Amino acid sequence: MIDIVFAVLFYIGLALVVIGAISDLIGALGMIRFPNFYVRLHAATIGAIGGAVYPLIGVALMAPSLHSLGTYRWYLFGASLVTALFIAIAAPTGSHALARAAHRAKVVEVKPKVVDHLEEDGK
């Protein structure tokens, strides 16, 4: 019974790793195709979250079924989850800080501008 649970977790983890690879590909295409800094920053964040967090969670789900690692499989499980949590917190925070700094420095001009609440707050 427990082997069936480990097998199901392994295949769910494998699916998350594949989803992460696809997210990295989509993020890379977005970095090439998107028109300005802010939208490219969004694509980079999608690549960081989808391309790093999902595969790390997938590895964490796959780790308990890797009996060849012995007790180290539980270290791999915990380290993968902690790293995924750290990246899930740090990546959006970092991209927000970059976008705010670029906006305040007026380095990038976006045309057409629909709404700019930071500019309205400054007036």
Give the pLDDT confidence score for residue 63 in this predicted structure. 92
Burial of 84 (0-12, 13-18, 19+ CB in 10 A): buried
Q: What is the mean pLDDT of residues 18-34?
A: 93
Domain count, the chain: 1
123 pLDDT more than 70: no
121 pLDDT more than 80: no
Q: Tell me the pLDDT tens digit for each residue of 65-110.
A: 888 888 899 999 999 999 999 999 999 999 999 988 888 888 877 7
| Cβ partners under 8 Å of residue 44, min gap 6 | 27, 30, 31, 95
Write out the residue range of the structural domain in which residue 67 sits. 2-122
